[in-house]
């Protein structure tokens, strides 16, 4: 199909967040005529609120493997895309619940073949991170080469790289309907004009569940609100790692630029609709403060200096859905990583490109 006609594509990607941008790039690299549509601006959705943490350990080995793929990719981002994006190296600790200790030890051992990861007991943890409140039962997984990146910069970098390979973007373009046209081509009806494509990928982030409902596809993804506060301690700890804490349900990372530390706690708030720009909920900030004080010495006395709050697309198993939506293998979905989609985006882009190539 001609790349010159900007309304006709081999593949149309719906959603210009980090996941859509990765897919857009991976398809453009394989010389598909590919378009990217976004109802607002590129990287203005959930991605704009992301903490951008890249770490590998998960309680599900298949998620760990996808994250290792992402970690390797992000560390070599310039080589992969020709675009410079800073990978800020940052230590990471993961605290499992007691009942998951045995699996955690096995998974840490398995992962140690691919990345630098080890189990630290409570004593070692206390010595290494003196701002941590740990009791004897609190061991943790330690990744010394985890990190974080700027999710908006990464998304734009993928978009620019895809454009160099002929990819075409249309912003301020809301997809309203998809219908079968003829000869294996779909018509995608939008607020600006109609587009035509042989394959379609829906990567609409937290809008994915409502878009799938509107288009009449069965699915098991849902939308949930996330809030991560930025708190400034009275003295910035010299050795604050990024962290996921299943004991106190906390997550976050240091933010040296602001002199603050991100700290989040699940809202468990499922929604059917939401405003694109959410403001912090002070009641939730109170809960975050309460929980945070159980784990970190610096929380007490710290001040709230900002917040990231957005909806994201969830699945009950957190495994995401990167797959064809029906037997025709022509319409695909890529979403549902439950607040962890940034680190998975390289794997998702690569996987969708493979799935689509298998159908052409």
Ligand X SMILES: Cc1cc2nc3c(=O)[nH]c(=O)nc-3n(C[C@H](O)[C@H](O)[C@H](O)COP(=O)(O)OP(=O)(O)OC[C@H]3O[C@@H](n4cnc5c(N)ncnc54)[C@H](O)[C@@H]3O)c2cc1C
Q: Which stretch binds ligand X (CB under 6 A): 11-19, 87-95, 110-118, 179-187?
A: 11-19
**Residue number with CB closer to ligand X (68 or 226):** 226
Burial (Cβ within 10 Å: 0-12, 13-18, ≥19) of residue 193: exposed
Tell me: does residue 226 bind ligand X (CB under 6 A): yes
- For β-strands 222-232 and 194-202, DSSP reports them as unpaired
Residue 115 C-beta-side C-alpha neighbours within 13 Å? 29
Q: How far is the CB of 138 from ligand X (least distance, A)?
A: 22
Q: How far is the CB of 118 from ligand X (least distance, A)?
A: 22
Residues 2 and 31: beta-carbon distance below 8 Å = no
Tell me: does residue 223 bind ligand X (CB under 6 A): no
Among residues 262, 357, 352, 255, which one has the least CA distance to residue 15?
352
Query: Quick one: DSSP state of residue 34?
Result: E
Q: Which stretch binds ligand X (CB under 6 A): 17-25, 80-88, 100-108, 215-223?
A: 17-25
Q: How far is the CB of 248 from ligand X (least distance, A)?
A: 17
Tell me: does residue 356 bind ligand X (CB under 6 A): no
Residues 289 and 300: beta-carbon distance below 8 Å = no
Among residues 73, 86, 75, which one has the least CA distance to residue 25?
73
Rg (CA), the chain: 21
Q: How far is the CB of 37 from ligand X (least distance, A)?
A: 5
Q: How far is the CB of 276 from ligand X (least distance, A)?
A: 7
**Residue number with CB closer to ligand X (286 or 300):** 286
Cα–Cα distance for residue pair 342/87, rounded to 1 Å? 13
Tell me: does residue 284 bind ligand X (CB under 6 A): no
Residues 33 and 7: beta-carbon distance below 8 Å = no
Interface pattern 312-331 for ligand X (x via CB under 6 A): x-------------------
**Residue number with CB closer to ligand X (55 or 198):** 55
Tell me: does residue 336 bind ligand X (CB under 6 A): no
**Residue number with CB closer to ligand X (302 or 335):** 335
Query: Quick one: DSSP state of residue 132?
Result: B
Residues 44-83 that bind ligand X (CB under 6 A): 44-47, 49-53
The enclosing H or E element of 268 equals none
Q: How far is the CB of 280 from ligand X (least distance, A)?
A: 10
Q: Name, in order, each residue with C-beta under 8 angstroms of 262's C-beta and a sequence gap of 6 or more.
A: 51, 228, 229, 230, 252, 253, 254, 255, 308
**Residue number with CB closer to ligand X (31 or 220):** 220
Residues 52 and 103: beta-carbon distance below 8 Å = no
**Residue number with CB closer to ligand X (13 or 117):** 13
Residues that bind ligand X (CB under 6 A): 14-20, 37-40, 44-47, 49-53, 174-175, 203-207, 211, 226, 228, 308, 310, 312, 335, 337, 339-343
């Amino acid at each position: 199909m001609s790349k010159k006609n900007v309304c006709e594509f081999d593949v149309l990607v719906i959603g210009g967040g980090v996941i859509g941008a990765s897919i857009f790039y991976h398809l453009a690299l394989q010389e598909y005529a590919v378009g990217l549509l976004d109802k607002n601006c590129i990287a203005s959705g959930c991605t704009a609120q992301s903490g951008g943490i890249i770490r590998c350990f998960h309680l599900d080995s298949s998620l760990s493997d996808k994250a290792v793929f992402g970690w390797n990719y992000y560390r070599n981002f310039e080589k992969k895309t020709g675009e410079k994006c800073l990978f800020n190296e940052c230590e990471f600790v993961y605290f499992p619940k007691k009942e998951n200790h045995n699996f955690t030890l096995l998974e840490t051992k398995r992962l140690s073949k691919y990345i630098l990861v080890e189990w630290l007991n409570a004593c070692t943890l206390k010595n290494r991170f003196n701002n941590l409140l740990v009791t004897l039962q609190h061991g943790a997984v330690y990744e010394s080469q985890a990190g974080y990146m700027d999710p908006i910069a990464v998304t734009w970098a993928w978009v620019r790289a895809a454009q160099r390979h002929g990819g075409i973007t249309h912003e301020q373009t809301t997809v309203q309907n998809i219908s079968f046209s003829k000869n294996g081509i779909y018509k995608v009806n939008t607020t600006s004009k109609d587009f035509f494509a042989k394959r379609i990928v829906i990567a609409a982030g937290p809008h994915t569940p409502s878009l799938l409902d509107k288009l009449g596809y069965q699915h098991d993804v849902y939308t949930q609100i996330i809030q991560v506060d930025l708190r400034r301690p009275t003295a910035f700890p010299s050795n604050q790692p990024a962290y996921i804490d299943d004991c106190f349900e906390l997550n976050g990372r240091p933010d040296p630029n602001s002199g603050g530390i991100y700290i989040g706690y699940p809202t468990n708030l499922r929604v059917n609709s939401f405003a694109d720009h959410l403001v912090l909920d002070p009641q939730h900030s109170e809960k975050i403060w309460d929980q945070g004080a159980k784990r970190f010495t610096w929380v007490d006395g710290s001040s709230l200096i900002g917040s990231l709050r957005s909806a994201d697309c969830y699945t009950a198993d957190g495994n995401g859905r990167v797959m064809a939506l029906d037997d025709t293998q022509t319409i695909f979905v890529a979403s549902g990583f439950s607040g962890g989609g940034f680190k998975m985006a390289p794997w998702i882009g690569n996987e969708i490109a493979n799935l689509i190539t298998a159908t052409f």
